[in-house]
Structure 1
Amino acid sequence: MTRSYGAVRAADGLDLTIAAARDTDSGPCRPRWAERKADEGPGKYAFLPWLLMGMGAFSNVVEGKTGNPWLAGLGLLAFNSVYITVVWTSFNPRLRHSRRPLYALGVLTAITFAIALGFGGDWFLFFPLLSLASGTVRALRGKKLAAWLIALSGAAGYLTGWDNGGPGAFGVGYGTFLSGTVTATVLSLFDTIQELNTTRQELARSAVEKERLRFSRDLHDLLGHTLSVVVVKAEAVRRLAPRNLDGALAQAADIEAVGRQALTEIREAVTGYREGSLSTELDRARSVLEAAGIEPLVRQAGPPLPPQAGALLGWVVREGVTNTVRHSGATHCEISVHADEERVRLAITDDGRGPGGSGAGGTGLKGLTERLAAAGGTLHSGPDGRRGFRVTAELPVGTGDVAVGTGDVAGAEEAR
């Protein structure tokens, strides 16, 4: 009954973790169209109403106040068409970073100067529209845009004053500079907001993926080791039952204890607080090796280790002993820990048959190598020079800022 309750609690924790990951991945529940609209800011259609600034020139054409109404109408049509082209290409995701909007802006500039100088009066109001279109072009940003707007506003003010004898020159020049500056500032702000939102979403996806990887590795490490211990002790029960019932019952009790401990570790893995312990793993290693018929020899010398360093080395002990029991066929295994004020050295040596055909580095040892390297340590594995296999780990005693949860250690399915 206790086991079933623990399994249910672990499953409940898993459900909560997956639900939290989904919430983090999907973000707040709101309509997608609202999220896109908030991210993108003003669109290309927001700049079309500004063409109404040319109504004064249009009325001049309709009322025949221009010298050549047909030419003026053609100029007005050309300006509106190229203005729309500049704005729409600037908002086109495939064209906004190309030079096409810049080329269109050059054509619009030529048209603006031509119609302003050709017809004068209200036609100088097209300079602020030209500046507005300039603010939408992504190729004009920063110093380039500032220099362009200063030159354009100066030219607009000078030409207006030259045509009208002074009145309205400041207003046209100031309006030209202000319209382009405000447009570029607003669009740059929304571009920054969109980049920040994209980065936030990427970070959220990365965090979810990291948590999924942590959880899968935790279960892999925990269950791989625990099942190996259960198998070894179950074999011991089978061997001892016919001739030593008390010994078989003791091994069966160990299996029950291992199962209960596994449930606790799985719950800790679900919540992300699973940490190993060197002393605990050394005791487990001695028990597992004895149950597997392998003579253990554990030696430990030196001052006590910081919890983080001890926990990380505890995972090295777990991995090395699991490999010795599962793969080596050894009869003797020696575990030695030597620490001083600066570094600690852990060595696991067995007299088994050594690495198989796949080499000396499996997924578990590779993950531990990366983890120790991140903590400033090293891990080497391979034949010990005579017969068997050796795993050697060295770590600075001052390792204190490294998270040692199982999620940062690769799974222990294979080590050789």
Structure 2
Amino acid sequence: MIPIAKRGWWDGPWPWLAYLLFYPLPWIWTAPSVEALYGSALGMALFVPAYLLAFQADGRRMIVISAFIVALGFALSPLGAGWTTLSIYAGLLLGRLRPMRHAVMAVILVASLTSLWGAMLEQSFFAIGLSVLLIVMTGMGSASREAFYDRTVALLSTQEEVRRLAGTAERERMVRDLHDVVGRTLTLIAIKSDLAGKLVSRDPAAAQKETGAIGQIARSGLTEIRAALSGQLGGSLVHELQASVDALGAAGIDVQVTGDAAPLPRDASAILAMALREAVTNTIRHSQARSCAIAISQDDSHARLAVTDDGISDGNPDSDGSGLRGMRQRLAAAGGSLALAPNRPGLRLEAWVPA
């Protein structure tokens, strides 16, 4: 929902009614007649409701009401009062038109008509000039205030959109991290449980050791889930490399590691660590591989990770799933990329990020 910038009472019609003090100003020097007083009272009785109604209108209705106010001022001009005051109010109202160029054109038109009418009445150049100045100043001030209000609304809308996108990005991050953590943890627990079940009859000590490993894996997974929920997941590639070697070994997959992960920059290491976690999890769960090779390299511009197995390359059900989508999103956010290619047999995954 887009927030709406709230207007204060000072942005409404009431403070501007102070301009009505200009209307009886000429009577200080020339006493009004009874007809002028009655005519002015009738004019004000028509003006005030129209003015208040105009503040609730927009577009054509505001133009029509403003035209009525200008005409009313012209009609009151023979009474000897400050009839141009009503033109000032018309400029104030028309300054609220959108787009702003329409407001500027309307205010200039009111100022021009008022000056022409005053010239026809042979009023002094000073009086006409002062009235035109007030019309333009009030109208442009109203237009500027409305433009500021529009910018405020746009800014609030942008901030709301940023908050919405940030919330979406955070939810996507949590889904990606939880997918990686839970997938790895449950896969290792399943492997260790199967192994413990096979050993329990012929080697109880080894089965007990595997059972203890299951508990350790579960506790480690719980810690990583908490880290994922708090946004602190993302260890080093060195640590993840050792965990991947252990996981592949537990799954009965021979593993070969080339390259050194220690010199990699911290950010690149954390991103590649999560890519390695997902790649190894997929290898264990889906590839039916017998061996897996992990290669780490770095040049002047990129840090690279390659994971190659000899399993079933077209039998990976996660090739279009959330795991690899999450990996691509992480790498893309860091300016990197991901490539998958058949290894004949097997699959080769390459990930790289700026170093």
Deviations 1:299-323 (A, max 9, x none): 2258821121122111121111111
Structure 2 CA distance for aligned equivalents of residues 169 and 109 of structure 1: 18
**Residue 373 (structure 1) aligns with:** 332
User: Are 2:179 and 1:220 equivalent residues in the alignment?
Assistant: yes
State the shift of 1:364 in Å: 1.0
Asked if structure 2 preserves the Cα contact closer than 8 Å seen for 1:128 and 1:179, the reply is yes
SS in 2 for 1:89: coil
Inter-CA distance 191–40: structure 2 relative to 1 (3 Å threshold): farther
2:35 partner amino acid: G
* Equivalent residue for 1:133, pick from 75, 85, 93: 93
- Quick one: which of 70, 83, 87 aligns to 1:123? 83
Deviation by residue 1:109-137 (Cα, 9 ceiling, x = unmatched)? 76257525676644332211211211222
Report matched runs for 1:277-292 at 5 Å.
277-292=236-251
1:100 equivalent in alignment to 2:60: yes
Out of 57, 65, 85, the position equivalent to 1:89 is 57
Instruction: Tell me the distance in 1 between the aligned counterparts of 2:262 and 2:218.
Output: 33
Stretch moving more, 317-326 or 78-87: 78-87
Letter in 2 for 1:89: A
Instruction: Tell me: higher relative CO, structure 1 or 2? Use CA pairs within 8 A at least 6 residues apart.
Output: 1
Change (3 A) 1:217 1:267: same
SS of 2:348's equivalent in the other structure is strand
Report the secondary structure of 1:252's partner residue. helix
Q: Which moved more, 1:303-312 or 1:205-214?
A: 205-214
Aligned to 2:352: 394
**Contact in 1 for aligned 2:70/2:90 (Cα 8 Å):** no
CA distance in 2, matches of 1:240, 1:181: 87
In the TM superposition, what are the counterparts of 1:10-409 in structure 2 within 5 Å? 39-42=6-9, 46=14, 49=17, 63-65=34-36, 83-84=51-52, 86-90=54-58, 99-101=59-61, 103-104=63-64, 107-108=67-68, 111-112=71-72, 114-115=74-75, 121-139=81-99, 141=100, 145-146=103-104, 148-150=106-108, 152-153=110-111, 155-157=113-115, 159-160=117-118, 163=121, 165-166=123-124, 168-300=127-259, 304-356=263-315, 360-384=319-343, 386-396=344-354, 398=355
The structure-2 alpha-carbon separation of the partners of 1:61 and 1:263, relative to structure 1 and needing over 3 Å to count, comes to farther
- Residue aligning to 1:30: none
When residues 109 and 315 of structure 1 are mapped into structure 2, their CA distance, relative to the original with a 3 A threshold, is same
CA distance in 1, matches of 2:19, 2:128: 21
Mark the CA change 1:359 to 1:266 in structure 2 (over 3 Å): closer, same or farther: closer
Separation in structure 2 between the aligned mates of residue 359 and residue 218 of structure 1, nearest angstrom: 16
Query: What RMSD in Å do the two structures reach over aligned CA positions?
Result: 3.8
Paired residues of 1:303 and 1:341 also in contact (CA < 8 A):
no
Distance (whole Å) between structure 1 residues aligned to residue 62 and residue 142 of structure 2: 16
Distance 1:343 1:133, change over 3 A: closer
1:152 offset after TM fit, Å? 3.5
Q: Which runs of 5+ in 1 are unaligned?
A: 1-24, 26-34, 91-98, 399-416
Distance 1:278 1:303 in 2: 8
Partner SS for 2:338: strand
Q: Equivalents in 1 of 2:12, 2:236: separation in Å?
A: 61
SS in 1 for 2:132: helix
Structure 2: gaps spanning 5 or more residues: none
Relative to 1, partners in 2 of residues 1:111 and 1:47: Cα closer, same or farther, differing over 3 Å?
Answer: farther
The Cα shift of 1:234 comes to 1.5
Quick check: 1:334–1:349 contact (8 Å CA) kept in 2? Answer: yes
Number of matched pairs: 348
The amino acid across from 2:118 in the alignment is: T
- The 1:249–1:298 alpha-carbon spacing in structure 2 relative to 1, beyond 3 Å, is farther
Report sequence identity in percent: 29
Residues 234-279 of structure 1 show CA distances to partners (whole Å, capped at 9, x for unaligned) of: 1111122222333323323322322232233233223322212212
Conserved in 2, the CA contact under 8 Å of 1:124 and 1:156? yes
> 1:357, 1:322 → 2: CA distance?
11
Distance in 2 (CA, whole Å) between partners of 1:216 and 1:357 is 20
Conserved 8 A contact 1:290-1:296: yes
Give the Å deviation of 1:356: 3.3
Q: Which amino acid aligns with 1:282?
A: L
Preserved contact between residue 234 and residue 252 of structure 1 (Cα < 8 Å): yes
TM-score, length of structure 1 as denominator length: 0.69
- 1:391 Cα offset (Å): 1.4
65 and 46 in structure 1: CA distance in 2 versus 1, 3 angstrom threshold: closer
| 2:97–2:103 CA contact under 8 A, matched in 1 | no
